[in-house]
Homo-oligomer: A and B are copies of this chain.
């Protein structure tokens, strides 16, 4: 292998590593899957839809996903407060990659 190929492999690893950091942790994918297909959900809806998640973890992960540009948060200045979450375009773009991972899992020998 030449140096170019070495470099390509290494930089690919770095990029994918970075990509996985956006998804890592026990809850992020469970949240994202709730939002796929253009769903719009409120905080309490997500809380109910994801069994076992605590408010702390939900809030924490939502904040990170928003900061990473994967989901969008919309707050309405009402009483009681209402906040809605949805995927950004980039968040929707994740679908094919997750499908590919699903396919891979399906190929797993047993």
Which chain B residues border A100 with CB–CB below 8 Å? 96-97, 99-101
Q: Chain A 66-110, CB within 8 Å of chain B: the 1/0 string?
A: 000100000000000000000001100110111111111111110
Residues from 20 to 57 in A contacting B, C-beta threshold 8 Å: 20, 23-24, 26, 29-30, 32-34, 36-37, 39
Chain A interface (Cβ < 8 Å from any Cβ of B): 1, 5, 9-10, 12-13, 15-20, 23-24, 26, 29-30, 32-34, 36-37, 39, 69, 89-90, 93-94, 96-109
* Number of chain copies forming the complex: 2
Find out whether the CB atom of A17 lies under 8 angstroms from the CB atom of B36. Answer: no
Find out whether the CB atom of A102 lies under 8 angstroms from the CB atom of B12. Answer: yes
